[in-house]
């Protein structure tokens, strides 16, 4: 039972008046020009119901600015849109989503709940004692819930430092004291001296060394790891306290820990390099305050985190060396960039984007310092081989995803970051692009276009708009994000170099029910296959086993820099193709004097073939012509013998997958449930421990040992009921509304009425969210 602090009777009475049920606020899509959208945006501007956020100068000289909405001076959490401001300061060309109708939900902005009570409510929910709380922050905001009903709320956060640090973030109704929402917002993951670890090797900071000397503060012969922009504290294996590290100038040699030669030097120097990158490339500070880096946190702590104020790094133990490589330092610092710009919520798809931006920043920092990047995150501090994440191939770590179709609600944000990581890799490697240019679009999107609860598609749209404003080729952005299943915008060809014409083509061979498709397309970067039985693929070449004989329409779409092309072929597969002639001799049995033969039996004797015309025993065929008839020609071949064809059906209930073997010509079988379990039963089932997509395989063999295999990727733990209201042709739907229709779930991308879900196409008003249970 949740216990909330007592509220006075007067406050409750007032709350009852102020929070009468009302229609929710409206989300107005400014990307679709209309009188309504223009009026809403202009009203917000003319009534000064906003504050200007970050901005940048577009290629045409205009200023692109984030417009953070307010209501009676109170910020509307996570809600902003973008405007173009000309040299006279006039705003126009609005894009994004604006909120209207807040006044119908929030009558007064005077809270009846104290901020102290709000802090107590959050700490009670997270079972933290008040004396544990550090860096407590609270402010009044307008909070929109999942139904877009606006609430006056206290936004509260604090940090608890321990062996498992946390940073609860919560919103408490400022009238009723109800906890509206909460989540853990902690983001994990000139002097001289040594640096590095046993994996990277020892290197030196200083003149003529691998890296330049780093800035420190000097007083006489005493130096400290402090500068105008960065200070580095030695936590000395504690979780609180710590002090700026001091040493005798000019060389800091302290101290070797867990295979690293001076984690303090690495952290301080790489913090300065990260700060310099943002300053030199974009003339911004990564965070408004001085960077504070805390090193040697706790004992054997194998992580690093940003807590909303400072970065903290553990010394590692068995898995990691001290977590102070440049990519890890830049990653944590860049969580500060996100928190002070888009403030992407550290959960859902926005959380994956939050993590991805920090990975992208790590790539940019290494590119800034060294001029190259190997697309691996954390490989320099991971003991043994491998890396923490692989931006060019996210699933290589065994947990991350590289396509939006593989995302599921509640997925760890480190794993969902793979979608935007892979898009960044693809964009950086486009002709006329590099890591710096691709990072331009991500940082501008973070500064201006992304909002706290952005989805993958909204995030991709932000990168698209940033590229457009910067005068970059948006076609490349569209292609890079399309390859990971994210919608961005329409191709325009503006500022794009002429590309070679894409020509889609493929050949195929079949063996039984299995078809192998060989891609022979020209000038394409990515590919999309529709295999005719409902299955799709994204690899260049594909091998696919169909479930039944038939002719299937197979379509390949080849996607290039400037154009797309597709080709469709009709492919016929048949299980009879696996039938082979028996290896047995094509002769009749040899006659035997001891065998009794009946009418119609056939035998061979002395090179000739005979058919019995009567019953006999011991009657030699070449003598007793009244019993045997001599045959001419060779005997017909035996009927063809078909090899096994693996096939099965499956069903899913929660985390349990049930399978039924429907193979033909098989005598033995083995099920493989993603390496977690096996079975030899015709009907089998397995319950996985967590939601995800798993490969379930079946191998069958016949009596001669010939085998056949089939594997299917099955998603479990992702049942979605048709929770949206049934679509109605007469009803008006706004951006974000979810409906169910014909066994599918759909989300409105902008205002619509009368457009039937499932008929508007990929770029239409309705985005398909997948099937659902009626």
Catalytic residues: 332, 414
DSSP 601: -
- Tokens found for residue 622: 């070449």
CA distance 253 to 231: 17
- Calpha distance 750→163 (Å, rounded): 45
Mention every residue, 6+ apart, whose C-beta is less than 8 A from residue 424.
Answer: 356, 360, 363, 391, 438, 439, 442, 480
Q: Which two tokens stand for residue 639?
A: 């009927």
In 447-523, alpha helices (H): 456-470, 474-482
Using CA atoms, how far apart are residues 284 and 281, in angstroms rounded to an integer? 8
From the list 104, 66, 40, 153, the residue with the least C-alpha distance to 735 is 40
* Long-range Cβ contacts of 220-223 (<8 Å, 24+ apart): 221/248, 221/249, 222/246, 222/247, 222/248, 222/249, 223/191, 223/247, 223/248, 223/249, 223/250, 223/252
Name beta bridge partners: 84.
64, 92
In Å, what is the CA distance from 259 to each residue of 200, 383, 492?
A: 10, 10, 52
Q: Classify residue 582 by burial, with Cβ atoms within 10 Å: 0-12, 13-18, 19+.
A: exposed
Pairing label, strands 74-85, 91-100: antiparallel
For residue 474, give Cα distances in angstroms to 130, 167, 466, 494.
50, 38, 9, 7
The three state secondary structure string of 463-478 is HHHHHHHHCCCHHHHH
Helix spans in 192-339 (H): 263-282, 326-339
What's the longest Cα–Cα distance across the chain?
128
**Cis upstream peptide for 250 (omega within 30°):** yes
Cβ neighbours of residue 265 closer than 8 Å, sequence gap 6 or more: 193, 194, 195, 205, 214, 252
């Amino acid at each position: 039972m949740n216990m909330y602090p007592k509220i006075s009777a007067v406050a409750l009475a007032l709350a009852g008046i102020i929070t009468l049920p009302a229609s929710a606020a409206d989300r107005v899509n400014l990307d679709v020009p209309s009188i309504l959208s223009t009026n809403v945006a202009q009203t917000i501007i003319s009534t000064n119901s906003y504050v200007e956020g970050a901005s940048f100068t577009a290629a045409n000289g205009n200023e692109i600015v984030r417009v953070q909405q307010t209501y009676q001076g109170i910020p509307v959490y996570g809600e902003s849109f973008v405007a173009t401001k000309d040299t006279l300061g006039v705003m126009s060309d609005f894009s994004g989503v604006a909120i209207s109708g807040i006044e119908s939900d929030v009558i007064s902005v005077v809270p009846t709940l104290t901020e102290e009570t709000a802090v107590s409510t959050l700490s009670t929910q997270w079972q933290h004692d008040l004396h544990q709380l550090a860096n407590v922050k609270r402010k009044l905001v307008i909070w929109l819930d999942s139904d877009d009903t606006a609430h006056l709320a206290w936004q509260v956060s604090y940090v608890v430092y321990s062996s498992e640090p946390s940073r609860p973030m919560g919103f408490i109704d400022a009238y009723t004291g109800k906890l509206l929402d909460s989540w853990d917002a902690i983001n994990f993951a000139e002097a001289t001296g040594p640096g590095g670890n046993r994996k990277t090797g020892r290197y030196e900071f200083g003149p003529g060394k691998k890296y330049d000397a780093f800035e420190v503060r000097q007083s006489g012969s005493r130096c400290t790891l402090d500068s105008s922009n960065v200070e580095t504290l030695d936590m000395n294996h504690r979780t609180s306290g710590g002090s700026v590290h001091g040493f005798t100038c000019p060389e800091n040699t302290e101290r070797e820990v867990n295979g690293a030669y001076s984690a303090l030097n690495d952290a301080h120097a790489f913090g300065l390099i990260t700060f310099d990158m943002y300053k030199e490339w974009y003339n911004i500070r990564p965070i408004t305050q001085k960077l504070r880096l805390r090193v040697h946190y706790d004992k054997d702590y194998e992580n690093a985190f940003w807590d909303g104020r400072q970065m903290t790094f553990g010394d590692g133990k068995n898995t990691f060396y001290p977590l102070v490589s440049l990519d890890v330092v830049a990653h944590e610092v860049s969580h500060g960039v996100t928190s002070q710009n888009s403030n992407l919520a550290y959960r859902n798809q926005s959380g994956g984007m939050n993590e991805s931006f920090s990975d992208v920043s790590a790539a940019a920092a290494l590119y800034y310092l060294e001029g190259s990047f190997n697309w691996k995150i954390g490989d320099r501090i991971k003991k043994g081989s491998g890396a923490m994440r692989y931006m060019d191939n996210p699933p290589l770590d065994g947990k991350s995803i590289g396509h939006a179709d593989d995302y599921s609600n509640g997925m760890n944000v480190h794993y969902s970051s793979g979608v935007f990581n892979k898009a960044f890799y693809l964009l950086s490697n486009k002709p006329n692009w590099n890591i710096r240019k691709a990072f331009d679009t991500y940082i501008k999107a973070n500064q201006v276009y992304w909002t706290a609860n952005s989805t993958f598609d909204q995030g991709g749209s932000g990168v698209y708009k940033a590229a457009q404003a910067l005068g970059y080729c948006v076609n490349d952005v569209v292609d890079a994000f399309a390859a990971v299943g994210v919608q961005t915008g329409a191709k325009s060809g503006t500022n794009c170099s002429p590309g070679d014409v894409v020509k889609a083509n493929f050949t195929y061979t079949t063996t039984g029910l299995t078809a192998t498709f060989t891609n022979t397309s020209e000038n394409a970067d990515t590919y999309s296959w529709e295999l005719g039985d409902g299955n799709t693929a994204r690899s260049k070449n594909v091998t696919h086993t169909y479930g039944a004989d038939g002719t299937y329409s197979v379509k390949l779409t080849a996607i290039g820099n400037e154009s797309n092309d597709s080709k469709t072929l009709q492919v016929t597969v048949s299980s009879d193709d696996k039938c082979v002639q028996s290896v047995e001799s094509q002769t009749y049995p040899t006659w035997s004097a001891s065998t009794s033969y009946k009418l119609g039996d056939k035998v061979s004797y002395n090179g000739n073939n005979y058919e019995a015309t009567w019953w006999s025993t011991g009657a030699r065929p070449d003598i007793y012509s009244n019993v045997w008839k001599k045959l001419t020609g060779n005997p017909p071949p035996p009927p063809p013998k078909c090899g096994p064809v693996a096939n099965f059906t499956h069903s899913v209930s929660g985390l349990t997958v049930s399978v039924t073997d429907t193979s033909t010509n098989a005598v033995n079988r083995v099920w493989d449930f993603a390496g977690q379990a096996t079975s030899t039963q015709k009907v089998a089932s397995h319950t996985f421990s967590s939601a995800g997509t798993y490969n379930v395989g079946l191998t069958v063999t016949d009596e001669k040992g010939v085998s056949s295999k089939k594997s299917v990727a099955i998603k479990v733990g992702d049942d979605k009921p048709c929770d949206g209201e049934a679509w109605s042709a007469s009803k008006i739907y706004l951006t974000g509304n979810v409906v169910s229709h014909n066994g599918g779930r759909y989300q409105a991308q902008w205002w619509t009425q009368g457009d039937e879900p499932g008929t508007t196409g990929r770029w239409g008003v309705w985005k398909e969210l997948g099937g659902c249970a009626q």
